[in-house]
Amino acid sequence: MFNSSSWEVGPILRALMRNKVGALLIAIQIAVTMCIIVNAIHIILERQELMARDSGIDEANSFHLISTGFANDFNEQVTIETDLNTIRALPGVIDAVQINAIPISGGGWSMGLQTQPGAEFDGVGTAVYMVDEHVLEALDLELIAGEAFKPTHVRWRERAQTNWPDQTIITKAMAESLFPEEPWQQVVGKTVYINDNEPILIMGIIDKLQAPWVGWNNVEHAMLSPEKTLFSSSRYLVRTEPGRRDELMPKVEEILAESNKGRIIRDVTSMMDTRERSYRRHGAMIKILTTVMVILTVVTALGIVGLASFSVNRRRKQIGTRRALGASQSAILRYFMLENFLISTVGVVLGAALTIGLNIYLVQAFSLDRIDWYFIPLGMLVLWMVGQLAVFGPAKRAAGIAPAIATRTV
């Protein structure tokens, strides 16, 4: 049964050569479709990987807000102390800190740290978070080496003040970038320099905390500076017990707004919303590319259905004749399935070349990553299957053509 003559590759090829254009059209469609789909999936996976990164803080149960003083008699220092005490005492609140910038929010402060003093040496860029001793609890950070801040470490920072506290806690990633030669545990107790020559002692290391800028290459670089700020606007980050965030957000806003009329409370935002906002364009790109992929596959499949139906209709008489001469229904079915398989093969081979070509262009023009090699055979397989599925309907109909049709004239 499965000898080579029953596979009819020769006759199919000869028939195809008589209608090159139709077959070529399908092949090119398959090739371009494969090229788009594989590159789109590659971009989608890349974006999903970005979006899946952990910021290091308890995002699900945290929110933040801004308090801006405007009254002439606004006492910022007293307000901040009172606010933090009030928030921390609320039932359901785990802890809260004043912080100069919110992780993954897009806006923040960066500095360079260097291992040798002097303007001629390069620094390692890092995000700066100005926080007090409540930071580990409020941000849900794990101290993996060294010591935590104590209340005595924390100072007040004026708006135009330029010097820095004597201690810092940095992330493990930052420790590894600063001292690539040494294990991170040994970075505790080392002195680094800020502003070219101002010494700072690394007193602790935390496991993970992301910078405010999600598109930054060094997003894992962050340092904690033990200070509270008097910048006329303050950000508070509040961490609640699981499930109590939504109930506490309006409550905290109201309590703070009522407690002091010389300031406004604004931008009360959950960390989940902040994440959604920061990654929105990636999320959007994923949705758009997914839509494009689905529509494109449907269009290509419909094209295959259309052309296959047409070629079946044109060959009704031939099919009838073959059936009358003894070809089985499955032989007819196999003929069209195999014909499509051959066309698809040309398509996916061409598609593989196009896919690599587009990827090379995307890598050069938009500094995307290279495609993993196994995307290509997977894409080929998928397009083969789409072709076979699409052609099955028309082929089935062809197989159903009655042998008697051969005897009719038109």
Provide the minimum distance between the beta carbon of 202 and another protein in the complex, in angstroms, as a whole number: 20
Give 299 or 404: the residue with its C-beta nearer to another protein. 299
> In this structure, what token pair is assigned to residue 160?
């135009």
Provide the minimum distance between the beta carbon of 186 and another protein in the complex, in angstroms, as a whole number: 29
Provide the minimum distance between the beta carbon of 264 and another protein in the complex, in angstroms, as a whole number: 5
Provide the minimum distance between the beta carbon of 359 and another protein in the complex, in angstroms, as a whole number: 12
Give 185 or 291: the residue with its C-beta nearer to another protein. 291
Instruction: State the residue for tokens 């398509």.
Output: 347
State CA 208 to chain mean position distance.
19
**Helix, strand, coil percent content, the chain, rounded in steps of 5:** 55, 20, 30
Provide the minimum distance between the beta carbon of 303 and another protein in the complex, in angstroms, as a whole number: 4
> In this structure, what token pair is assigned to residue 21?
């254009």
Q: Is the dihedral of CA 366, 371, 376, 378 positive or negative?
A: negative
Provide the minimum distance between the beta carbon of 183 and another protein in the complex, in angstroms, as a whole number: 30
Whether 354 contacts 30, CB under 8 Å: no
Provide the minimum distance between the beta carbon of 84 and another protein in the complex, in angstroms, as a whole number: 21
Binding footprint of another protein on the chain (CB under 8 A) = 21-22, 25-26, 28-29, 32-33, 35-36, 39-40, 43, 68, 70-72, 119-120, 122, 158-163, 195-196, 231-233, 264, 266, 277, 280-281, 283-285, 287-289, 292, 295-296, 299-300, 302-303, 306-307, 309-310, 314, 362, 365-366, 409-410
Give me the DSSP letters along 355-386: HHHHHHHHHHHH-PPPPPTTHHHHHHHHHHHH
> In this structure, what token pair is assigned to residue 379?
């894409």
The strands making up 62-69's β-sheet, listed across from edge to edge, are 93-98, 233-240, 62-69, 263-270
Residue 121's SS3 state is: coil
- How far is 257 from 353, CA to CA, in rounded Å? 62
Give 148 or 371: the residue with its C-beta nearer to another protein. 371
Give 47 or 172: the residue with its C-beta nearer to another protein. 47
- How far is 182 from 341, CA to CA, in rounded Å? 58
- How far is 183 from 20, CA to CA, in rounded Å? 65
User: How far apart, in Å, are the Cα atoms of 165 and each of 56, 157, 198, 205?
Assistant: 24, 9, 10, 17
Give 144 or 305: the residue with its C-beta nearer to another protein. 305
Give 88 or 317: the residue with its C-beta nearer to another protein. 317
Give 54 or 120: the residue with its C-beta nearer to another protein. 120
Provide the minimum distance between the beta carbon of 52 and another protein in the complex, in angstroms, as a whole number: 19
- How far is 249 from 304, CA to CA, in rounded Å? 55
- How far is 153 from 176, CA to CA, in rounded Å? 25
Give 204 or 394: the residue with its C-beta nearer to another protein. 394
- How far is 344 from 60, CA to CA, in rounded Å? 48
Give 7 or 310: the residue with its C-beta nearer to another protein. 310
Provide the minimum distance between the beta carbon of 376 and another protein in the complex, in angstroms, as a whole number: 17
